[in-house]
Each structure stands twice: as structure tokens, then as C-alpha cells.
A and B are shown apart, each in its own frame.
Chain A
Amino acid sequence: MDLSVQLPGLNLKNPIIPASGTFQFGREFAMLYDLSVLGGCCVKSITLEERLGNPLPRIAEAPGGMINAIGLQNRGVDFVREKELPFLESYDTEVIANIAGASIEEYAEVIRRLNGVDVIKAFELNISCPNVSAGGMGLGTNPETAAEVTRVAKAAADKPVYVKLTPNVTDITAIARAVEAAGADGIVVINTVPAMRIDLRTAKPVLGNVTGGMSGPAIKPIAIRAVYQCAQAVNIPIIGCGGITCAEDVLEFLYAGASAVEIGSENLVDPWACPRIIEELPAVLEKYRLGSVKEATGKALPKAQ
């Protein structure tokens, strides 16, 4: 079974990529399985300076998923370049560097400091994080700012640039079109869905940040809808993300128009989720009489009929 997928900058042996923020920089998972089985991997969002993240609690639960408000905690780009990324050099998997910033200029500066790092095969712009006050989702909810950060990032980057979109907009296709026009090489659809919980005992929000981002199986239908709509709006490849727990879910995203997928929260409840899904995938493709991953992409789209 041909599981391979070729995307700008990414030569994936299979379409499975752990999503940003659920994989750190690979060290913990490397103790559990050979990271070389992964098509690619997307590291935790990198910002210019170190960020300590949001006050606790940062985690809440909701039926069919979870809500997080981590707040982009990371050690800053220089530390990540020197101390984290070299670890991934010894694995045969395509590394995506996820970038975040409080301003458009910060995205460009982080990218400049990562240019020339060979282990990185592509950049992913997180303009969709609901858990930070400046930048983050603010940039991703407006077609003009989304296009502007894409343009500036493209001008700075020595590798292909993917843009990760938020579902928290009236029309996601307007954002997708805007970043495509600004030069994006691909889009990642979707980041978490803004959400919150209230503790009945204290009558206060559960999360220290009050609101957070919902992820997990409950958001899968939202993500499928977003991929399906974007696939009809743009010609650049789509990496699907949101609520994937098994190979059947992967196929649903491929049918909706995704070329590859990112797996997020499932890594947190089943640390072996990615290798498991990679192993399950051929049989699921066979079951639906598909000869390859590529053949599945976009099958559900009207224009393919």
C-alpha cells in the first residue's frame, strides 16, 4: 500500500504527523517508539523569547475531548534551535517548525533565526492559538492580517510555509483564500475551538485563563467541515487536523480534501497513537478499495465526481 505523500518541502512516507503542542520536541515519544515511523512531526510553537505560559489550571475536560490553555509555553527560538531541534536530526522524519508571535514582525524574526537549520523541512504559522492575548488567533481571524503575516513569513523563510487556521471565523474559506494569495504553500485546518468550563462548586471558570481551546473527537466534525470547504476554495494542499483517534478518522479527512493529517490530543491519552494509526491505515484503505493515500484525497468533494 502506498502511504506516501509529497507536499511542498515535505516528503512524507505516510500522512501521519503529530500536531504542535502534543509532541513537545520528540524526546518523550522517542523513549516509546522509533520516531522514524512518523511521516513527519510538528514541534511545539516557537516564539522569539521564552514564554512561561498561562496560570494553572491549564486543562479542563469536556465530553469527547479536552480544553487547554497552555499559553504557548516554550523556551524561545534560540534555545529551541540549539538544544531541542538537534535531537530530531537522528530520525528519518520530516520536521515542521511551528511558529507563533505577538506581532507580525516576531513571526519573521523567529523564522530568520531558524533559516538554515537543515532538520526543519517546513514552517507552520500558528495564527490560530486562542490562548494568548496578543497575536495568535487575532491574526488568523481577519483575511488581511492573515495574508500580511503569510507574506512577511514567506519573504523571510528559506522553506515552504504552511498556515494553521482557526475555525473561529464566519467564513474559513475567506482566510484560506487570503493566505493562498499571499503565497502560503499549504494550510493546516484546524487549530482548537475556543471554549470554556465553569466549576459548579466555586461558580468560577475552571481554567486560569478563563477560556481555552477545545480539541479531541468532539471537534472532528467541525474540522471535517472546514477541510471540505477549504478544499473547494484553494489549490494549495491541506493538512487536516482535529479529533483524529484512528485510521478511519484519517480517511474521513482525506476524503474531505486533506493530503495529510496532524494528530493532536490523541497522543496525550494514547502515547502510541501515531504508530498505531500508521499501522491500521493500510487495512482501512484496503477495506474501502483504495490503492494509496493520494487516491483518497478529495474523494468526497463535488468536483471529483
Chain B
Amino acid sequence: MKDTNAIVLSNVRIANDVYKMELRTDIAKEAKPGQFVQITVPGFYLRRPISVSWTQDDVLTLVFKIMGEGTAVLSKLQPGAETSVLGPLGQGFPVTAEKEVVLMGGGVGTPPMLKTAKAYLDAGAKVDVVLGFNTAGDVFYVDEFEQLGITPVVCTMDGSAGVKGTVLDGVKSAGITADYVLACGPLPMLRAISSTYTKGYVSLESRMACGFGVCNGCVMTDKNGMAVRVCKNGPVFPIGKVVL
């Protein structure tokens, strides 16, 4: 973990309220799939946790949705702006030798799945990707997955794009049979996945202050009643480990 000065290289809107930001920072070279960074937002005391979506040499790509005041300010940062980024943080998705895996991203849970998909492809797995959004205007990252040679199954709750329904509906309609899942998204989605699959990993979200394990702000409880820190022991946990 280190604290680096990061320079915004680009920051563009890619869907409703969703921005893709490229930053120049050394952290890019160390970041593993599923890890996250804490980015300083000018004018705010706490940093904001955002997943590592992609890295290329010393360029780190983050994708975030405007959810409140901090992310609204982040969306307005112009190329050339400087900020500071702490990371890489947390335990990412382990990359194990699997024959086939299915990756699922829900909304702004999608970004970390891009680098994860690349890692599993590189490890020789057959990778299926299912992405869930509310509506067509929310959809992003289809091209990015296609550049990896994966055609993602897109699902929308209102049916305005792709399969109508949840990511699990998408899995069914595409006939994906992999039993090993890697997922990031809203809690209801992760709960549904956890009651359907037994193998794989899910990435959790929790409000946090430090992001490196010292404040106990983001603590959840595992199946044995033990406290786990989402920022330090996670955000990625084996399916079924944490009480959702």
C-alpha cells in the first residue's frame, strides 16, 4: 500500500451518471483484480473507495457512479487535475486454475470484473460474463469486454436492453453452465447468487473510513459470528463466508 499523487488523464461519461476516469499513478503496476483504492476528493475529508477496474502500465482506470456529493465532484475533475490515491487495498479475486468461470457484475459492480476477466483468460479459463443494469441508458463496458474477446450477456430490469431480468435470468437464457462464479454488485444480487452457487467469490461494499483495516467502520459478520473487515479481509470473500 502506498499513497501516491495521481494525475487525471481523462474523465468521461460512459452511461447515466457513470464516469470512466484514467489516472497516472504507480499504484497501477501493483493493483490486482478486485482490489480497490481510496481516492481523495478535493474538499472532502474522507477518501472514497473505488474498485480497480483496469490497469495498463502506470495508468489506473476507475469507473464510478455519481451517488452523492463526493462522486459528483470526482465526475468534474478535468484532465491534468491532481489528486492522491491510496492503494492498492484489500484482498482481490483469487485467480485459480478453473476450466470455466462465470463473472457477474451488477451496475457499478461491473468495473472490477473487467480486470478479473482478463486475469482468468490469461490463466486459461473459459470466461462468461453477465452484466446486470436497471435500464438501457445505464449499460456500459460491453465494448471493453468485447475487446477481451468476450461477448457479455447484458440484462436490464426493464427489458430495454438485452435479457429482461436479473443476472441470474441472463445466466439461464444464455445457457451458461459454469458452477464457479465471481461477482460484484448490489446486496440483493449477491444474496441471490449466494443462494444459487456454492463455489467462487463475491465482492462486498460497506461504508468505510480508512480502507486499510484500522477503524472498524466497515465490519460485517461471518457465518461463525466472527467480525470481518470488508476493507482488509475483503472486499472479496468466498461465497457463503459472510452473512449478507
B207, B212, B216: the one contacting A271 at CB < 8 Å is B212
The stretch of B42-50, B108-116, B162-170 that contacts the partner chain = B42-50
Residues of B within 8 A of A23 (CB): 214
A192 contacts chain B at the CB level, 8 A cutoff: no
Q: How far is the CB of B200 from chain A (nearest CB, A)?
A: 24
Question: Does A32 make an interface contact (CB < 8 A)?
Answer: yes
Known contacts A65-B45, A68-B209, A268 near B214 by CB under 8 Å: yes
Which residues of A have CB within 8 Å of B70?
A: 61
Cβ 8 A contact of A61, one of B3, B44, B225: B44
Binary interface encoding of chain A residues 18-32 relative to chain B, with 1 for a CB under 8 A from any of its CBs, else 0? 000111100011011
Given the known interface contacts A53-B219, A58-B219, A73-B227, the answer about A28 and B206 at a Cβ–Cβ threshold of 8 Å is no
B215: contacting residue among A32, A63, A68, CB under 8 A: A68
Docked Cα-Cα span, A32 to B207, in Å, equals 23
Q: Given A56-B206, A268-B210, A270-B3, does the pair A70, B215 have CB atoms closer than 8 Å? A: yes
- Main secondary structure, interface of B, reads loop
Q: Report how many residues on chain A are interfacial, defined by Cβ distance under 8 Å.
A: 34
A66 an interface residue at 8 Å Cβ cutoff? Answer: yes
Q: Is the C-beta of B218 less than 8 angstroms from some C-beta in chain A?
A: yes
> Cβ of B118 < 8 Å from any Cβ of A?
no
Does B208 belong to the interface (CB within 8 Å)?
A: yes
Report if B232 contacts A (CB, 8 A): yes
In the complex, chain A residues 7-59 whose Cβ is within 8 Å of any chain B Cβ: 21-24, 28-29, 31-32, 44, 52-53, 56-59
Task: Let me know if B206 and A66 touch, CB within 8 A.
Answer: no
- Render B46-90 as a binary contact track against A, CB cut-off 8 A, 1 for contact: 110000000000000000000000100000000000000010000
B221 at the interface (CB under 8 A from A): yes
Interface residues of chain A: helix, strand, loop or mixed (majority): loop
Q: How big is chain B's contact interface, by range?
A: 20 to 34
Contact of A58 among B46, B207, B214, B232 (CB under 8 A): B207
CA distance A7 to B215 in the complex (A): 27
CB < 8 Å neighbour of A66 from B45, B225, B232: B45
Q: Which residues of B contact A28 (CB under 8 A)?
A: 212-214, 232
A21 to B44, CA, bound (A): 21
B215 contact set on A, CB distance < 8 A: 21-22, 59, 68, 70, 268
Q: Judging by beta carbons under 8 Å apart, are A61 and B45 in contact?
A: yes
The reply to whether the CB of A291 lies closer than 8 angstroms to some CB of chain B is no
A70-B45 CB under 8 A given contacts A28-B232, A58-B207: no
When distances are taken between beta carbons in the complex, the residues of chain B under 8 Å from A268 are 46, 209-210, 214-215
**A22, B214: Cβ atoms closer than 8 Å:** yes
Given A32-B1, A73-B219, also A271-B206 (CB < 8 A)? no
Q: B51 to nearest A CB, angstroms?
A: 18
A64 lies within 8 A of chain B by Cβ: yes
Could you tell me the distance between the alpha carbons of A271 and B89 in the complex, rounded to whole angstroms?
13
Residues of B within 8 A of A65 (CB): 45
B-side contacts of A24, CB under 8 Å: 213-214, 216
B232 to chain A: which residues have CB within 8 Å? 28
Q: How would residues 233 to 276 of chain A score, 1 for a CB under 8 Å from any chain B CB and 0 otherwise?
A: 00000000000000000000000000000000101111110000
Enumerate chain A residues within 8 angstroms of B216, measured Cβ to Cβ: 21, 24, 44, 53, 58, 70, 73
Interface residues of B (CB under 8 A from A): 1, 3, 40, 44-47, 70, 86, 206-210, 212-221, 225, 227, 232
Instruction: Please name the 4 residue pairs, one residue from A and one from B, whose CB atoms are nearest each other, closest first.
Output: A268-B210, A59-B217, A57-B207, A59-B207
Chain A contact residues, CB within 8 Å of chain B: 21-24, 28-29, 31-32, 44, 52-53, 56-66, 68, 70, 73, 216-217, 265, 267-272
30 contacts between A and B (CB under 8 A): A21-B215, A21-B216, A22-B210, A24-B213, A24-B216, A28-B214, A28-B232, A32-B1, A52-B221, A53-B216, A56-B219, A56-B220, A58-B216, A58-B219, A59-B46, A59-B208, A59-B209, A59-B218, A60-B207, A61-B45, A70-B215, A70-B217, A73-B216, A265-B209, A268-B209, A268-B215, A269-B45, A269-B46, A269-B47, A271-B210
